[in-house]
Amino acid sequence: MDQPLVLNTFMLLTLATLLTPIILPLLSNNLKNTTTTITNTVKTSFLISLIPMAIHIHSGTESLISLWEWKFIMNFKIPISLKMDFYSLTFFPIALFVSWSILQFASWYMASDPYITKFFTYLLFFLIAMLILIISNNLFLLFIGWEGVGIMSFLLISWWQGRAEANTAALQAVLYNRAGDVGLILCMAWLASTMNTWEIHQIQLPNQTPTLPLLGLILAAAAKSAQFGLHPWLPAAMEGPTPVSALLHSSTMVVAGIFLLIRTHPLFNNNPTALSLCLCLGAISTLFAAMCALTQNDIKKIIAFSTSSQLGLMMVTIGLNLPQLAFLHISTHAFFKAMLFLCSGSIIHSLNGEQDIRKMGGLQKMLPTTTSCLTIGNLALMGMPFLAGFYSKDQIIESLNTSYLNTWALTLTLLATSFTAIYTLRMTLTVQTGFPRIPPLAPVNENNPAILAPITRLALGSITAGFLITSYILPTKTPPTTMPLSIKITAIVVTALGMALAMELSKMTQILIMPKQTPMSNFSSALGYFNPLIHRFSTTSLLGGGQKIASHLVDLSWYKLMGPEGLASLQLMATKAATSLHTGLIKAYLGAFALSILIMIVSTY
Amino acid sequence: APGAMAAYLTHQQKVLRLYKKSLRHLESWCIQRDKYRYFACLLRDRFDKNKDVKDMVKATALLKAGEEEFWASQHPQPYIFPDSPGGTSYERYECYKV
């Protein structure tokens, strides 16, 4: 059997299946889309994509195909090439599985929406753009996918466009992503001029890569994956409906930045500056996001900051020069994070739109499946041994602990791990346990297969995905084989400490002592004061600087002072200085003038 | 028109608005209901102690002190009902209105 051919065929068939709901309605008026058709399309696509993954696991087959070539200029060709390696072959089924579950959930969540088919079509467009990004071997095609997911993110966040905050959030997402695109285009320009290609398998440098294009790539990844400095758009993106948050802003779109760094990691291999920058940026991001999540009261914001924190952890892994481990974390994270969002969506809908955890409680008896899966997802997130998150997260912390790199980054990451345990347990305890604080007539109901099936499916994935992926895939770099016991159990000990602290704190909330504002809690509540500082400061300085340039520099200085008024003032200065020299006696001047002319005429004779 | 809002608030209206918003922020601080009820009763007692002050200067001074105390101890993320301005569902269905 010609395995690469089978691989190519099935991957292209996957993409083609996803295109059918877009193309078929254009051909005939009878072939209108419905939510069921789109969900079933994605399900079929998922099942088809399992075959290439199985072939790859079985025999390690990879393939690289080139579909069409844009003959740009004579020396520079842009082939539309697709790379089917471990990363794309594994991520396709995962992304499609998660998308299928989310679409099935969305058919219940958005059932009351009159434009639900448009919603599903948008999600499908997003999925296609994301898969193009994953499978592309050429940075040009990747950029098409990159922009595609950015645009669909904009359209989906502002789904309820009558809401002012949703529009602001969508604009914020687009602008921050644009800032990252600058970096990506910079790197592409450098690649085109130095290596004359945008093909990922052709970009190898024997000696050290210059740092500037790598900075561009890191900027692109920082914007797309919400690292510190370019992170505010991710919590704001929770304005979109919950299926959007589950698909885009937890499993797929936000990992596109990390995926870019994984794809281009040969460039990073020999540049320790860039790797250290990734490490430190990731460590700061993970700690900052975990700190902000500690005092959030909106369930979706907690999960959003949790996503941001895990993305920081993935960036840390890139900084450790372990791209495959970062990919493993992407894969396992997709499962439990999407499930957390779906569970929160089920809770929100049951409580008639209530998203504040202070008005939830005691839901364990009312929504048993949802809360059980919420617990499983939270345990997986915390790195409970042998659930999905453990295989990736524990390995990352072990590698960080045993490497000779930045200890400061290690400390921040461990602190963030304990914070993860704290806010996760806080969310679990507040939402599920205790006495109910919900309004009495809440339509609490989860008896719908459209909710239960996706959530339980993803729960199964959260439990088994880590184990399955690590069983079948050999690591490309040798993981640390021996380490002292204290290093080995660091992650678990730190998480357990966090959990113990969270239990203590939750017990303290029941004591009759009045809580109050403190500087640290205010810092966390205000998300580090980052949003007002940067949003207002940068815009006012830009606009103020622009105004100063227009009025003072151009109008006053260039047009006036360097031109007529400057000359006039110079003249004025000269005349004022000369004024004191003369006395103004015209007759005397004329007499002296006539006398000198007379003397000159007489002296010539 | 009868029942319309006046241009100025009476002293009673101001005090009652302070009471309600401090209760709402107390609810944001004290998540468990029994703890909230305890502190709400204490707060009610504080308001009730000064209920019969007839001197308007003193009453206004008390109100001002109360507002300042509220400002200092308000919750940074007060609970807002989903459909209220600032809530998560506010204006959500504007785009579907004709």
**How do residues A74-110 score in pLDDT, each as one tens digit?**
888 899 999 999 999 999 999 999 999 999 999 999 9
pLDDT, position A586: 85
Answer yes or no: is B45 within a domain.
yes
Closest C-alpha to A451, from A176, A106, A74, A117: A106
What is the helix (H) or strand (E) element at residue B66, kind and residue range?
Answer: helix B56-73
pLDDT, position A311: 96
Q: How far apart are CA A32 and CA A26, in angstroms?
A: 9
Within this chain, do residues A214 and A327 fall inside the same structural domain, yes or no?
yes
Which residues of chain A make contact with B27, given a CB cutoff of 8 A?
Answer: 358
Which of residues 48 through 87 in chain B touch A, CB cutoff 8 A?
Answer: 72-73, 76-77, 79-80, 82-83
* Helices A368-382 & A323-350 angle (0-180, nearest 10): 150
Which residues of chain A make contact with B72, given a CB cutoff of 8 A?
Answer: 517
Task: Give the pLDDT confidence of A167-202 residue by residue, as tens digits.
Answer: 999 999 999 999 999 999 999 999 999 888 899 888
Within this chain, do residues A525 and A444 fall inside the same structural domain, yes or no?
no
Q: Is the pLDDT of residue A57 over 80?
A: yes
Overall domain count for chain B: 1
Q: How far apart are CA A562 and CA A33, in angstroms?
A: 67
Task: Give the count of Cβ contacts less than 8 A between chain A and B.
Answer: 70
Q: Is A87:A142 a contact under the CB 8 Å cutoff?
A: no
Contact B91 A525 (CB under 8 A): no
First-to-final CA distance of chain B:
30
Cβ of residue B29 closer than 8 Å to a chain A Cβ:
yes
Within this chain, do residues A447 and A546 fall inside the same structural domain, yes or no?
no
pLDDT, position A76: 86
Residues with Cβ within 8 Å of A90's Cβ and at least 6 positions away in sequence, in order, are A53, A56, A327, A331, A469, A473
Cβ-nearest to A353 among B28, B35, B89:
B89
Within this chain, do residues A78 and A128 fall inside the same structural domain, yes or no?
yes
Q: Is the pLDDT of residue A583 over 80?
A: no
Q: Is the pLDDT of residue A593 over 80?
A: yes
Q: How far apart are CA A142 and CA A89, in angstroms?
A: 16
pLDDT, position A2: 84
pLDDT, position A309: 96
For A236, which residue in chain B has the nearest alpha carbon? Answer: B88
Within this chain, do residues A534 and A570 fall inside the same structural domain, yes or no?
no
Q: What percent of chain A has pLDDT over 70?
A: 100
Answer yes or no: is B3 within a domain.
no
Q: Is the pLDDT of residue B1 over 80?
A: no
Answer yes or no: is B17 within a domain.
yes
Within this chain, do residues A572 and A524 fall inside the same structural domain, yes or no?
no
Contact A163 B90 (CB under 8 A): yes
Task: Give the pLDDT confidence of A411-454 residue by residue, as tens digits.
Answer: 999 999 999 999 999 999 999 998 999 988 888 988 999 999 99
Cα pseudo-dihedral A15, A20, A26, A30, rounded to 10:
180
Answer yes or no: is B90 within a domain.
no
Q: What is the DSSP string of A167-210?
A: HHHHHHHHHHHHHHHHHHHHHHHHHHHHTS--BGGG---SSPPP
Give residue A564's identity as a one-letter amino acid code.
Answer: P
Q: Is the pLDDT of residue A231 over 90?
A: yes
Task: Give the pLDDT confidence of A107-132 residue by residue, as tens digits.
Answer: 999 999 999 999 999 999 999 999 99
pLDDT, position B36: 95
Answer yes or no: is B28 within a domain.
yes
DSSP A136: B
pLDDT, position A144: 95
Q: Is the pLDDT of residue A136 over 80?
A: yes
Which residues of chain B make contact with A295, given a CB cutoff of 8 A?
Answer: 76-77
Contact A353 B76 (CB under 8 A): no
Answer yes or no: is B44 within a domain.
yes
Which of residues 492 through 531 in chain A touch B, CB cutoff 8 A?
Answer: 509-510, 512, 514-517, 521-522, 525-526
B41: distance to nearest CA of chain A, Å? 13
Q: Is the pLDDT of residue A458 over 90?
A: yes
Which residues of chain A make contact with B79, given a CB cutoff of 8 A?
Answer: 297, 356, 358-359
Region B81-88: what's the mean pLDDT? 93
Measured in degrees and rounded to the nearest 5, phi and psi for residue A52 equal -60, -35
A353: distance to nearest CA of chain B, Å? 7
pLDDT, position A30: 85
Q: Is the pLDDT of residue B74 over 80?
A: yes
Q: Is the pLDDT of residue A561 over 90?
A: no
Which residues of chain A make contact with B24, given a CB cutoff of 8 A?
Answer: none
* List of E strands, A433-559: none
Contact A160 B92 (CB under 8 A): yes
Average pLDDT over chain A reads 92
Partners of A136 in the beta sheet? A82
Which of residues 113 through 132 in chain A touch B, CB cutoff 8 A?
Answer: 114
**Which of A283-287, A301-305, A484-488 comes out lowest in average pLDDT?**
A484-488
**Which of A221-225, A242-246, A341-345, A586-590 comes out lowest in average pLDDT?**
A586-590
Give residue A328's identity as a one-letter amino acid code.
Answer: L
Overall domain count for chain A: 3
Within this chain, do residues A548 and A401 fall inside the same structural domain, yes or no?
no
Q: Which domain holds residue A582?
A: 563-604
Q: How far apart are CA A293 and CA A313, in angstroms?
A: 15
Q: Is the pLDDT of residue A329 over 80?
A: yes
Q: Which domain holds residue B71?
A: 11-76
Q: How far apart are CA B93 and CA A37, in angstroms?
A: 26
pLDDT, position A29: 86
Q: How far apart are CA B80 and CA B76, in angstroms?
A: 12
Cβ-nearest to A509 among B28, B31, B94:
B31
Q: Is A238:A304 a contact under the CB 8 Å cutoff?
A: yes
Task: Give the pLDDT confidence of A386-417 residue by residue, as tens digits.
Answer: 888 899 999 999 999 988 888 899 999 999 99
Q: Is the ipTM of this complex over 0.90?
A: yes
Contact A510 B92 (CB under 8 A): no
Contact B28 A358 (CB under 8 A): yes
Which residues of chain A make contact with B73, given a CB cutoff of 8 A?
Answer: 516-517
Within this chain, do residues A587 and A448 fall inside the same structural domain, yes or no?
no
Q: Please tell me the pTM assigned to this model.
A: 0.91
Which residues of chain B make contact with A354, given a CB cutoff of 8 A?
Answer: 82
pLDDT, position A509: 87
pLDDT, position A577: 84
Within this chain, do residues A509 and A531 fall inside the same structural domain, yes or no?
no
Region A296-316: what's the mean pLDDT? 96
CA distances to A132, A181, A205, A270, A374 from A326, rounded to whole Å, are: 20, 22, 23, 18, 24
A170: distance to nearest CA of chain B, Å? 15
Which residues of chain B make contact with A427, given a CB cutoff of 8 A?
Answer: none
